[in-house]
Structure formats: C-alpha cells, structure tokens
Structure 1
C-alpha cells in the first residue's frame, strides 16, 4: 500500500494547468489575522512570522503561487518595465492577494484565482511584486478581469497596506511601488517567476 503524504504547498502543487490565466494560490493569512503567518520553506507548515503591529491588517486574502520564485527573470522584467536600482528578486515565491466577498476564517488552504493586475514593489533593492487577483466564482469580485475595473478606493487600500505594513510609526517608507499594472503585465510577472522557479528547482 502506498502511503499518502500531504504535498508541500510550494513545491508539491502546480501553479495551475491554466496558469497564468487562472492560478492556484496557497493562502497564508486572512484579514482577521492579528498574527502574520508564512510558509516554512523546509517543512511546508505555516509558521508564526510576527504579530501584526498597530492597524496594518491585511485587507485581502494573502499568500503565494506555488512553484514560483522571484529572482533573475523577475528582476529583469522589473528593469525592462522602467524600475531602477533593482539588484535582485526577493528569493521567495510570488506573492498574491486575492479579493473575495466571502469571510474566510483562516489560512492554510488552496484556492483558484484570476490575476487582474498587481503592484511593482521594490523593497530595499529587491523586486517584490504583489499580484492582485479575484477568487474564481466570487459573487462580488469574480467578474473582474483587470485592476482598472476595481473601485479606486480598493486599489488605494491595498497599495497603502503594502507601503506601510513593515513600518513603525513615523519611520520613512522601507519600500516603494513603481507601478500599478494590469492583468497582462501580471501574467508576465507570473511567467517570469515560473522561469525563475524552473532555473532554481527544476521544471514547473
């Protein structure tokens, strides 16, 4: 009898058979979390990263796309699309936040999402893109196909979180967002991160 093992969320699950049009997402944290959880790269279990400080609570479901990695190809794309002072990718799976009208109580789960855009974030010289997506079939957001279709306030709310979530009060910004891009560029970022994963770990 062949024993069953839980797949590693980063390495053992595909990005999705229709990626980058529709991607698998492993959710690490949800808006109700006051602790920031992240995947332990060795074991695949969620671990406590740090307590969330002050009022910077994630405004959407947040996690990563399996079998992605941000290194040379992601860096190259950031530079080609106009960013300066980019030394490397952030050496992590590609981050993604997923908009949904549903109240999901905890992370550690998989879902399918449709990328609609993203933020070209540069964090201390590292390309640290944040893909924005909508949950497949969501009643409020599921029809959206590009970030330009979202209310401006929704985009600003996400952007503000990513610009401030690492900061203490009165500290200067530790990162910057060079561009808010649409669905087509988001798909290019996903494909670049898949190439980086293949170069680092093998085929995807």
Structure 2
C-alpha cells in the first residue's frame, strides 16, 4: 500500500486554475487567534510564530497564495509604482487577507478568493505586498470586485493593523504603505510572485 502524504501547502498545492482572477489561499490565521501561526517552510506544518503582543487582532482571514514568492519581480513592481529604498522582495510567499462575513474558528485550510486590491507595503526595505481579497460566494463581501468599492473605514482598519501589529506602543513603525492599489495591480502582483517562484524553485 502506498502511504498518503500531506502536500506541502506552499510547494505542493497550486494557486488555482483561474489565478490570478480567482486564487487558492492557504489560511494560517483567523480573526479570533491571539497567536500568530505561520507555515514552517521546511515541513509544511503550521507552527506558532509568536503570541500577539497586544489587543491588535488580525482583521480578516490571513494566509498566502501557494507557489508564489516575493523577489525581484515583486520588487520591480514596487519600484515602478513609486516606492523608493526597496532592496528586494521579502523572500516569502505572497500574503493575502480574505474578507468574509463568516465566523471561522481555526486556520490550516484552503479556500478560493477573488483579489480586489492590495497594499504596497515596504517592511525594512523589502517589498511585502498584502493582497486584499473576498471569499468566493460570501454574502456580505463576495460581490466586491475592487478595493475602491469598500468603505474608507474598512480600508483604514486593514492598513492600521499592518502598520502596527509588530510594534510596541512606544516604537515607531518600521514599515510603511506606499500605495493602496486596485484589482488590476493586485493581479499583476500575483503573476509577478508566481514568476518569482518559478525562477527560485522551478516549475
């Protein structure tokens, strides 16, 4: 009998047949988590990265798009869109935040999502884009197709989390958001990260 092996969520699962219009997402963290979980790059298992320092809770489902990597292509897009002092991509899979009205209690699952925009975040000189997406079929968010359709307060809430979640109250943020972009640019970032993955890992 051939044993069953778990596919590595970064390398062993595709970004989806319809990427970048609809992408498959591996979700690591949900809004109720007070621990930041992250996939262990070697084993593929979900591990504890760190406890959340304060009461800033992830505002939506959070994870990454499989078989993506942020390197020279993602850096190039950041520079072309006006970012300065960018040394590279962050050498991680492409992060994605998925808006949904559903109360999901734990991460470590796959889902389909539609990218509607994102944040051009620069973290210590590295391009660390955060794609914003909506859950396919979600009753409250599923009809959105561009981040410009979201209320300004929702966009501000998402930005605030990414600009503050790593910092102590007395610290100045070490990252910045240079651009809030729409669905077209989000798809470009996804494609660039797929090309960066192929260049780094093949396939």
TM-score range, shorter chain: over 0.9
CA RMSD, aligned part only?
0.6
Who is 1:69 aligned against?
69
2:74 partner SS: helix
1:10 partner SS: coil
The TM-score, its normalising length taken from structure 2, stands at 0.99
1:84-99 to structure 2, matched below 5 A, reads 84-99=84-99
Query: How many residues end up aligned between the 2 structures?
Result: 203
* Distance in 2 separating the partners of 1:76 and 1:179: 14
Who is 2:13 aligned against?
13
Who is 2:37 aligned against?
37
> How far does residue 56 in structure 1 lie from its aligned partner after superposition?
1.2
* Distance in 2 separating the partners of 1:152 and 1:46: 33
Who is 1:172 aligned against?
172
1:66 partner SS: coil
- CA deviations on 1:24-47 (whole Å, 9 max, x unpaired) are 000000000000000000000000
- CA deviations on 1:3-36 (whole Å, 9 max, x unpaired) are 2211100000000100000000000000000000
> How far does residue 151 in structure 1 lie from its aligned partner after superposition?
1.0
Who is 1:141 aligned against?
141
- CA deviations on 1:113-137 (whole Å, 9 max, x unpaired) are 0000000000000000000000000
* Distance in 2 separating the partners of 1:87 and 1:112: 32
- Farther-moved stretch of structure 1 (51-60 vs 114-123): 51-60
> How far does residue 2 in structure 1 lie from its aligned partner after superposition?
2.9
1:41 partner SS: coil
Who is 1:80 aligned against?
80
Who is 2:49 aligned against?
49
- CA deviations on 1:62-97 (whole Å, 9 max, x unpaired) are 000000000011001100111100000000000000
The TM-score, its normalising length taken from structure 1, stands at 0.98
* Distance in 2 separating the partners of 1:135 and 1:95: 15
Structure 1: stretches of 5+ with no match in the other structure: none
